[in-house]
Amino acid sequence: VRHRLEEFVARRFGETDGGRYATRISEDFEVSTLNLDGTPAKLSEGQKMVRAYMFSFALRSVIGLDLPLIVDTPIGRLDEKNRMFVAETLTAVFEDSENMHQQAIFLMHDGEYTPYVMEHFKPLKPLEYFLEHIDQEYEFSTLREGIDPEWSL
């Protein structure tokens, strides 16, 4: 299992940045990313997140779990450049026929799901929903389809 996880992450993560990295997974399942010369790679925060997503996809694929990936604030801590890197990479992964049956649910706020990020996810035809605050007294909200019209003004 460990070897298959390592191969999956190495192939997928290597594809994200021009194949410049090798991946090793230890006996304790610690994931290391190395430069091709074997030295430890210095990854950006976006690259670290993509590697974590690839490991998650690898677990799902190798173990055979078809559970949805649910992530709260998946790119909130990243700068705009790394948000684009993560969005482009995830879009490419889900466009791959091998992963088309997999499901991901990303809970994003308006600072994350910017018009630029929306454009990168557009090829996947994401289902978009927002929580609409209905009742002040009882703090009641409901799930609505689309983008919050107040946010997009």
pLDDT at 15 over 60: yes
Q: Which residues of 121-132 are buried (b: 16+ CB within 10 A; e: fewer)?
A: beeeeeeeebee
pLDDT-wise least confident of 19-33, 46-60, 94-108: 94-108
Write down the pLDDT at residue 39.
94
Task: Look up the pTM and report it.
Answer: 0.74
Task: Give the other-Cβ count within 10 Å of 53's Cβ.
Answer: 21
Cβ atoms 75, 42 nearer than 8 A: no
Average pLDDT over residues 43-50: 85
Instruction: Please tell me whether residue 56 adopts helix, strand or coil conformation.
Output: helix
* CA dist 38 → 7, 46, 48, 49, 101 (Å): 16, 21, 18, 21, 35
